[in-house]
Amino acid sequence: MTAKIIDGKAIAERIRAQIAQEVQQRVEAGLTRPGLATVLVGDNPASQIYVRMKHKACEQVGINSFGYELPADASQEEVEALVERLNADPAIHGILVQLPLPAGLDEEKVLGRIRLEKDVDGFHPLNIGRLAQKGREPLFVPCTPAGIMVLLEEAGVTLEGARAVVLGRSNIVGMPVSLLLLRRNATVTVCHSRTRDLPAVTREADVLIAAVGRAEMVRRDWVKPGAVVIDVGVNRVEDPTAKKGYRLVGDVAFDEVKDVASAITPVPGGVGPMTIAMLLKNTLRAAKLAD
Ligand code: NDP
């Protein structure tokens, strides 16, 4: 079997084009142009790149973006005061605090300060709490997990009653995607660094989500024939033949697993582009909530 490639790049592009069109229609109708504020504390190079990418993506769809930077030694009070200021600013519909925050800052407290209606990253404790409870609806869902769900839907995957295995239990990916799968009536197993005999567990999966951050850890014999595999991992591996001296690979050994899976996301070009598309979608929704 050769797996169908789930083309996240193309799906994300389509979503972005829809967003651009809607933003233009809003502005033409005299409504506010959506605005996203990013808060970057410190000088983590990866965070700087992610923030830059988000601003560029906003620009491409006509969303205003406002970048706020604080030094690595900013106090808890300073960070929270900035969030409060952005909460009160009517030109800003979404607030994204780039994680991780420097050591010493209370992340939960900062995220808890974001006005719920502006929590476009979906990490406000109340939004996450609602996600975990039956019958409650979060206002926003974290972007990477939301993007994964769109990919599964686009690939026509039946989740009701399916066995889903999630590798990883992080606040950002593993846990929220597990909760989303559960809400869609999958039977979910969440694995982590203390799970015994990982391959035996993953082989049970109809839907396998890999979000561990270990290059090509999921091998061919970890995957049940016909399973759908979503690879969230982004890992750098040395490659002297590449221009930059490295290349990006996922948590799944793509070349092996594509021969057993029924559908699979590539890295790059799978989950990554969806994360930003979902952020733009959430920002547009936040603007609509403020109308
Ligand atoms: P974290 O490091 O926060 O979490 C990793 C999880 O994997 C933990 O739950 C950890 O277990 C588990 N884990 C680590 N090693 C093993 C192992 N050997 N066996 C079993 N479980 C293991 O990572 P993130 O969730 O933030 O990110 C995961 C990957 O996804 C990374 O490669 C990251 O770059 C990528 N990513 C991609 C995004 C995108 O948009 N494409 C967005 C966000 C992340 P334990 O809890 O026990 O420590």
Nearest CA to ligand 1 atom 22: 193
Q: Which of 117, 89, 66, 112 is nearest to 287 (CA)?
A: 117
pLDDT of residue 123: 97
> Quick check: 95 and 66 in contact, CB under 8 A?
no
pLDDT of residue 256: 97
pLDDT of residue 166: 99
Average pLDDT over residues 174-183: 98
CATH number for the domain whose boundaries are 30-133: 3.40.50.10860
Return the number of other C-beta atoms located less than 10 Å from residue 156's C-beta: 9
168 within ligand 1 shell (Cβ under 6 A): yes
Question: Among 118, 119, 121, 258, which one carries the catalytic annotation?
Answer: 121
What tens digit of pLDDT does each residue of 116-160 get?
A: 999 999 999 999 999 999 999 999 999 999 999 999 999 999 999
| 98 catalytic residue (yes or no) | yes
Tell me if 30-133 shares its fold with 143-272.
yes
6, 143, 192, best to mutate for ligand 1 pocket (most atoms within 8 Å of CB)? 192
pLDDT of residue 1: 74
What tens digit of pLDDT does each residue of 1-55 get?
A: 799 999 999 999 999 999 999 999 999 999 999 999 999 999 999 999 999 999 9
| 54 catalytic residue (yes or no) | yes
193 within ligand 1 shell (Cβ under 6 A): yes
Q: What are the extents of the domains in the chain?
A: 30-133, 143-272
Indicate which atom in ligand 1 lies nearest the CA of residue 212: 7
What tens digit of pLDDT does each residue of 179-238 get?
A: 999 999 999 999 999 999 999 999 999 999 999 999 999 999 999 999 999 999 999 999
pLDDT of residue 102: 97
211 within ligand 1 shell (Cβ under 6 A): yes
- Cα dihedral 250, 255, 261, 266 sign: positive
- Distance (Å) from CA 36 to ligand 1 centroid: 27
- Looking at 3.40.50.720, 3.20.20.140, 3.90.550.10, 1.10.287.130, the CATH number of the domain 143-272 comes to 3.40.50.720
> Quick check: 133 and 176 in contact, CB under 8 A?
no
- The full length of the chain comes to 291
171 within ligand 1 shell (Cβ under 6 A): no
What tens digit of pLDDT does each residue of 239-288 get?
A: 999 999 999 999 999 999 999 999 999 999 999 999 999 999 999 999 99
β-pairing, 263-264 vs 4-5, is parallel
β-pairing, 235-238 vs 246-249, is antiparallel
The contacts found for 183-189 with CB under 8 angstroms, 24 or more apart, are 183/131, 184/149, 184/159, 184/160, 185/159, 185/160, 185/161, 186/159, 186/160, 186/161, 186/162, 187/161, 187/162, 187/163, 188/164, 189/163, 189/164, 189/165
- Distance (Å) from CA 271 to ligand 1 centroid: 14
